[in-house]
Amino acid sequence: MSHEYIPEIATERNGTEHEVQGWQDDFYGGKLGFWLFMLTEVMMFGAMFLALAYYNTLHQQDFLDASASLNRLLGGTNTVILLVSALTMGLGLLKMRAGDVKGAKLMIWATIILAAIFLVIKGFEWSAEYHHGIFLMHDQLLADSPLPFGQKLFFGMYFTMTGLHGFHIIIGIGLMLWLLKRINAGKVSQDHHILYWNIALYWDIVHLIWVFVFPYYYMIGAGGATGGH
Amino acid sequence: MSKSYFDETHCAIGHPKSTFMQWMLTIDHKRIGIMYAAVMFTFFFVAVFTALAMRIELFAPGGQYMDGDTFNQAFTLHGVIMIFLFIIPGIPAVFGNIVMPLMIGAKDVSFPRLNWFTFWLYIAGCCIALASLFIGEGVADTGWTFYAPYSLNTGTNVIMALVAAFVLGMASILTGLNFLVTIHRLRAPGMTFFKMPLFVWGIYATAWIQLLATPVVGITLILAIMEKYFGIGIFDPAKGGDPVLFQHLFWIYSHPAVYLMILPAFGIMSEIIPTFSRKEIFGYRTIALSSASIAGIGYLVWGHHLYTSGMSDIAKTVFSFLTFFVAIPTGVKFYDWVATMYKGKIVLSTPMIWALGTIITFAIGGITGITITMIGLDIHLQDTYYTVAHFHYAILGGVVFLMFAGMHYWFPLVTGKMYNETKAKIAFYLQFVGFNLLWFPMFIAGYYGMPRRYFDYLPEFEIYHQISFFGALIFIAGLIYMFWVFFKGWTKGEAATPNPWNATTLEWHLPTSPPPLENHSKVPYVDFDPYEYHQGEPVVKFNYETMQRID
């Protein structure tokens, strides 16, 4: 709504007046809605972690062996990159709330660049795995290859979950570009920053999921294995 | 004459001139609710006639005009449409949209544009589901539960059905999210949680289930798609997976989903009973909190679908024990409704008859549910007609009957017209008799061992199937007659006053009937309980222009 929203007044019988909350301009409503939406993301990834934990009990040794062959250097670097990007995103929001629009935009660009670096590293990782014959519908993950069931499951879930997470990163980059457009158009400002707030929350969830993905996939096989390719 | 929401609307994009585009782009919660109803009932009739086709096939033992594979596709089509396209959007999408904002004195839901988007997401899901009928080898033949590994090996269009279910699930999540924020943020000043009408409580509990349970089935369907197209052995034992895990993940959503269906229906019951008993509802807080506790306990009982699927005895016992607990808050509600009627001035209008009929049918559906909660008995009754009859008594005789009750109750509110009460009552009796004739014999057939989802049966079951068939005919006749009465009422009925039932909740305190675009002329201050009657008359009266109390 471009025009100013003027809240209605409800009057009690004794004359006391109460401001009515409309659906327009509802900062807390917007925030609550997005928190609830993020809860659905948690439930979605949570169900996948549940399946993963269950298969870990079924094929424990296979999971450890498969995990040991993942590249912890690249995975760890990506973890650090995502954590730093969460920091830049948060700092940007603080700057926006303090009225520093230029600084906020700088921080969003920094977040976008870090997210892009994350994807590039992820791409290197996946292509290295592909060259080792490990990819969906490829070589060692085919039904007739001698790789144990558990390892096939582990890698299958690995590509599913990191893929879905990467998809969220791409969506996040799109959202941040859109946010920059809205800031330039003056639609997001110090007083109207609900969009920024929610995208920052989204980015937090994206890095939070990674914080669980990383140990579940990369770290469980770290002990006793040489690791890395 | 003042303008109603049929005459003007806000749109998501621009200000189109044509009436058609105004409907397509509308963000008005009342119009969106009507559009949901139109689409849902179209699909409802498709599924009803699919069911009738199955009944005709089952009229005599042996295959007559449908082979086994077609029959498998028929019951899958019936299940998928009824569950995912009709009853899951169901009461929240229709009455949650139309009535809930009116009940809390809001101008619209919290995110009207999201509401518009959600509706079109629902339409997209419907289109994908429909497309699966005509592409490749036709509609899935797995049953609506899509159990792995068969669903991953069959040549029929399971994947499209899964994608459709995923998209429809997204629509359901967003509806729930919208309602949760609406109920938290947009209640009229003074309306605390315990001053909300009980239908709003039902919608509130439902919205939490939509929000928290649906993502689980969403990701389960995604995993099944990954397995089918990328060969990951998640649910196929031949590839190291576990098919029982699919069942667990599926029912973690789909069992709470039945409470998602019934809770808003209970809400409708809690509106109708006090209104037509002209009496304050008995145990307001216990009804409100029992909705919340059914939603909570409902999460912990999914395992009772898996008694025969391979689960440890301890897990079975725990799930059985927890399942019994659901009966307690449900029983509380029933006692409250009956106690409300005690010494009330009962008016037997059509909505009330539907509600009373449902007390009978749902009690049968609920109590037979308790019998199959018991592990020992369930081993015998699992996958028999007994379970089918239980489910239909609970969902058709509970949810859909109450939805019909709600349709009769809010018809004058939505359309501004009144249907013919006598004819509507005839439609009720036809459906009530037909319904019981249709499903009660199935309890007996199921107890004697008639398995579900079979297109053929032993000769000794013939009598039950034939009674069922005639019941189905009567039921469908009543159903069509009811919609005819609605149609006549809408086109030729008398104009209704804003409050034809002498009801007390805010949706009946509107300046005109049908309501204007932005609902109440002013937002009222709520300093009263939702169902205040004194000697059979509503206590709270408003000046509908200023929304000041004048009692």
- Contacts of residue B298, Cβ cutoff 8 Å, sequence gap at least 6: B209, B255, B256, B258, B259, B326
DSSP output for B30-49:
HHHHHHHHHHHHHHHHHHHH
Q: How far is CA A10 from the centre of its chain?
A: 42
* DSSP H or E stretch at residue B461: none
* Tokens, residue B452: 């579900």
- What value does the mean pLDDT take over residues A167-179? 97
For the domain made up of A27-219, give the CATH fold: Four Helix Bundle (Hemerythrin (Met), subunit A) (1.20.120)
Residue B300 is given by DSSP the state G
Question: In this complex, do B177 and A156 lie within 8 Å of one another by their Cβ atoms?
Answer: no
Residue B281 lies in a domain: yes
For chain A, domain boundaries: 27-219
Contacts with B, A 46-65, CB within 8 Å: 46-48, 50-51, 54-55, 58-59
Model confidence at A1: pLDDT above 60 = no
Question: In this complex, do A44 and B218 lie within 8 Å of one another by their Cβ atoms?
Answer: yes
Query: What is the per-residue pLDDT across B184-230, written as a single tens digit (0 to 9) for each?
Result: 999 999 999 999 999 999 999 999 999 999 999 999 999 999 998 88
Query: What is the per-residue pLDDT across B360-397, written as a single tens digit (0 to 9) for each?
Result: 999 999 999 999 999 999 999 999 999 999 999 999 99
Residue B15 lies in a domain: no
In angstroms, the separation between the Cα of residue B372 and the nearest Cα of chain A is: 28
Question: In this complex, which of B106, B522, B527 lies closest to A13 when CB atoms are compared?
Answer: B527
Q: What number of CA atoms fall less than 13 Å from residue B296's CA on the CB side?
A: 9
In angstroms, the separation between the Cα of residue A171 and the nearest Cα of chain B is: 17
Instruction: Report which of B487, B514, B493 is spatially closest to residue B99, judged by C-alpha positions.
Output: B514
A213 burial type by CB count under 10 A (0-12 exposed, 13-18 middle, 19+ buried) = buried
> CA A13 to CA B524: how far, in whole Å?
10
Model confidence at A14: pLDDT above 70 = yes
Number of domains in chain B: 1
Question: In this complex, do B232 and A39 lie within 8 Å of one another by their Cβ atoms?
Answer: no
Mean per-residue pLDDT of chain B: 94
Question: In this complex, which of B173, B185, B230 lies closest to A29 when CB atoms are compared?
Answer: B185
Cis peptide before B514 (omega within 30 of 0): yes
ipTM of model: 0.92
CA distances from B386 to B74, B341, B447, B452 (A): 20, 32, 6, 9
Is any Cβ of chain A less than 8 angstroms from the Cβ of B102? no
Question: In this complex, do B190 and A12 lie within 8 Å of one another by their Cβ atoms?
Answer: yes
Mean per-residue pLDDT of chain A: 91
- Name residue B510's beta-bridge partners: none
B532 and B538 Cβ atoms separated by less than 8 Å:
yes
The domain spanning residue B88 has which CATH number? 1.20.210.10
Identify the pLDDT of residue A224: 59
> CA B204 to CA B214: how far, in whole Å?
15
Contacts with A, B 167-196, CB within 8 Å: 173, 177-178, 180-182, 184-186, 188-190
> CA B499 to CA B515: how far, in whole Å?
11
Question: In this complex, do A153 and B232 lie within 8 Å of one another by their Cβ atoms?
Answer: yes
Residues of B within 8 A of A51 (CB-CB) are 223, 234, 245, 249
Question: In this complex, do B525 and A143 lie within 8 Å of one another by their Cβ atoms?
Answer: no
Cis peptide before B451 (omega within 30 of 0): no
- What value does the mean pLDDT take over residues B20-24? 94
Contacts with B, A 6-45, CB within 8 Å: 8, 10-13, 18-23, 26, 28-29, 32-33, 36-37, 39-41, 43-45
Question: In this complex, which of A28, A44, A136 lies closest to B219 when CB atoms are compared?
Answer: A44
Amino acid at B53: A
> pLDDT-based confidence at A145, cuts 50/70/90?
confident
> CA B352 to CA B350: how far, in whole Å?
5
In angstroms, the separation between the Cα of residue A29 and the nearest Cα of chain B is: 6
Residue A134 is given by DSSP the state E
- The pTM of this model reads 0.94
To test the contact with chain A by mutation, choose from B219, B225, B227, B521 the residue with the greatest count of A C-beta atoms within 10 A, namely B219
Helix axes B462-492 and B421-447, enclosed angle (nearest 10): 160
Residues of B within 8 A of A46 (CB-CB) are 216
* DSSP H or E stretch at residue B486: helix B462-492
Is any Cβ of chain B less than 8 angstroms from the Cβ of A143? yes
Find tokens 């009709």 and name the residue: B86
Residues of B within 8 A of A148 (CB-CB) are 240
Residue B549 is given by DSSP the state E
In chain A, which ranges are continuous DSSP H helix? 27-58, 60-68, 72-97, 101-131, 149-184, 194-214
A81 and A229 Cβ atoms separated by less than 8 Å:
no
Model confidence at B92: pLDDT above 80 = yes
Residue of B nearest to A51 (CA): B245
Question: In this complex, do A156 and B549 lie within 8 Å of one another by their Cβ atoms?
Answer: no
Residue of B nearest to A157 (CA): B232
Is any Cβ of chain A less than 8 angstroms from the Cβ of B522? yes
Look up the domain containing B369 and give its range: 31-549
SS3 content of chain A, % helix, strand, coil (to 5): 70, 5, 25
- Contacts of residue A4, Cβ cutoff 8 Å, sequence gap at least 6: none
Of the two residues B135 and A200, the one the predictor is more confident about is A200
> CA A136 to CA A145: how far, in whole Å?
13
> pLDDT-based confidence at A228, cuts 50/70/90?
very low
Residue B26 lies in a domain: no
CA angle B10, B15, B18 (to 5 degrees): 100
Region of residue B481 (left: phi > 0; alpha: psi -120 to 50; beta: else): alpha
- Name residue A18's beta-bridge partners: A10
Residue B520 lies in a domain: yes
Contacts with A, B 249-308, CB within 8 Å: 249, 252
R_g over Cα of chain A: 23
Question: In this complex, do A157 and B234 lie within 8 Å of one another by their Cβ atoms?
Answer: yes
B194 and B289 Cβ atoms separated by less than 8 Å:
no
* Tokens, residue B184: 């938290």
Residues of B within 8 A of A160 (CB-CB) are 222-223, 226, 230, 232
Amino acid at B159: I
B319 and B303 Cβ atoms separated by less than 8 Å:
yes
- What value does the mean pLDDT take over residues A77-94? 96
Residue of B nearest to A148 (CA): B240
Is any Cβ of chain B less than 8 angstroms from the Cβ of A138? no
- Contacts of residue A71, Cβ cutoff 8 Å, sequence gap at least 6: A125, A128, A218, A227, A228, A229
Residue B64 lies in a domain: yes
> CA A140 to CA A44: how far, in whole Å?
28
> CA B1 to CA B124: how far, in whole Å?
38
Helix axes B29-57 and B462-492, enclosed angle (nearest 10): 150
Query: What is the per-residue pLDDT across B441-496, written as a single tens digit (0 to 9) for each?
Result: 999 999 999 999 999 999 999 999 999 999 999 999 999 999 999 999 999 999 99
Identify the pLDDT of residue A227: 45
In angstroms, the separation between the Cα of residue A209 and the nearest Cα of chain B is: 15
- What value does the mean pLDDT take over residues A134-163? 90
Question: In this complex, do B231 and A33 lie within 8 Å of one another by their Cβ atoms?
Answer: no
B181 and A36 Cβ atoms separated by less than 8 Å:
yes
Question: In this complex, which of A40, A41, A160 lies closest to B232 when CB atoms are compared?
Answer: A160
Question: In this complex, which of B173, B185, B233 lies closest to A153 when CB atoms are compared?
Answer: B233
* Tokens, residue B254: 């789909």
Largest CA-CA distance found in chain A, in angstroms, rounded = 81
Query: What is the per-residue pLDDT across B142-152, written as a single tens digit (0 to 9) for each?
Result: 999 999 889 88
> CA B250 to CA B165: how far, in whole Å?
12
CA torsion, points B335, B336, B337, B343, in degrees to nearest 10? 100
- Contacts of residue A182, Cβ cutoff 8 Å, sequence gap at least 6: A188, A195
CA distances from B156 to B75, B169, B483 (A): 14, 22, 34
In angstroms, the separation between the Cα of residue A154 and the nearest Cα of chain B is: 9
Region of residue B451 (left: phi > 0; alpha: psi -120 to 50; beta: else): beta
* DSSP H or E stretch at residue B346: none
Residue B107 lies in a domain: yes
Q: How many residues in total does chain B contain?
A: 551
B256 and B209 Cβ atoms separated by less than 8 Å:
yes
Residue B162 lies in a domain: yes
> pLDDT-based confidence at A4, cuts 50/70/90?
low
Identify the pLDDT of residue A229: 44
Is any Cβ of chain A less than 8 angstroms from the Cβ of B232? yes
Residue B120 lies in a domain: yes
Question: In this complex, which of A23, A153, A157 lies closest to B108 when CB atoms are compared?
Answer: A23
- What value does the mean pLDDT take over residues A149-170? 94
